[in-house]
Structure 1
């Protein structure tokens, strides 16, 4: 693993230390590690893989976007900032902005968002097998709004993407959305 990737993983591990995933006792860091791995397996740039490790740091810890730039450079900052939600806004406002970002962004931002949503939805699917429909109580918005959100990302993720540049994990995401929200 390249030194910059080790640094990003270590930074994210430190930033998320003590945090747990929704509806489980799983350490939060497993999520950014899986996102980064998805991006790496798709042949993403080192900067994008770093952003995979760091994508929730600004949103969910005391670190700020300037800390990301200082440690990892302007490109990683841009990628992380493109997918950092403003928690002062409502759930609907934040998710609507993510959907707009998916519609209009370059392929690297799309890769980051879809890799993140793929892992989140995979966790939901696993938790749903364990907890049943109770899984939806762990979210600010229930099943119907989650369905709208994940289906909207699916609907717009390919906008402006040449088919030859679409990574395989986009189709994995599409299949997962269909499985989880088939009802």
Structure 2
């Protein structure tokens, strides 16, 4: 099922590029899924890693995800998908709440996604400097608030032994990027 999710995501994102880059978009969901796989998450969570942006950024729907990959994958993708009709602040506040209140699997999906976004952002900052911030809907101050807020709540409700190692990587990268 993982291979099918990767192929589905590749087809869905065909022709799309990452923000500030000529990199094919599929590279992002591949890295998210890889983080989840390395951390030992279930097939369904890894599939959601591949599919997490499909509903938000393509013409595919949650029904399509459910039909191909089942209810658990659909639920994770649904919980992660932002409502683009809402403001940036509302969408990010909802994401922070989802991380605070969500299951370990949902927290991991969101943090793996945000970690990869931060890694890409840091590469862009090295190449282009602070002008990178002008490419975002919300600039440095808002991005700092969002990424730091996710870092603050991602461990809520988790036992230390259950916290994936990449959460610590995320925390360190937030500090490096914004402090």
TM-score by length of 2: 0.99
Q: Flag as ranges the 4+ runs of structure 1 deviating above 3 A.
A: none
Distance 1:72 1:143 in 2: 37
Say which of 12, 16, 26 aligns to 2:13: 16
Partner residue, 1:116: 113
Instruction: For 1:136 and 1:72, locate their aligned partners in 2 and report how far apart those are by CA, in whole Å.
Output: 36
CA drift at 1:137: 1.2
Q: Give TM-score, length-normalised by structure 1.
A: 0.97
Cα distance in structure 1, aligned partners of 2:35 and 2:132: 24
Structure 2 stretches lacking a partner, 5+ long: none
Q: Does 2:83 correspond to 1:86?
A: yes
Task: Count matched residues.
Answer: 179
Once the two structures are TM-superposed, the CA of residue 155 in structure 1 deviates from its matched residue by: 0.3
Query: Which whole-Å CA distance do the structure 2 matches of 1:114 and 1:162 have between them?
Result: 17
2: distance between equivalents of 1:58 and 1:51?
11
Give the superposition deviation at 1:138: 1.2
Counterpart in 2 of 1:70? 67
CA RMSD of aligned residues (A): 0.4
Inter-partner Cα distance in structure 2 for 1:128 and 1:143 = 12
Deviation per residue, 1:66-96 (Å, 9 max, x gap): 1000000000000000100000111010000
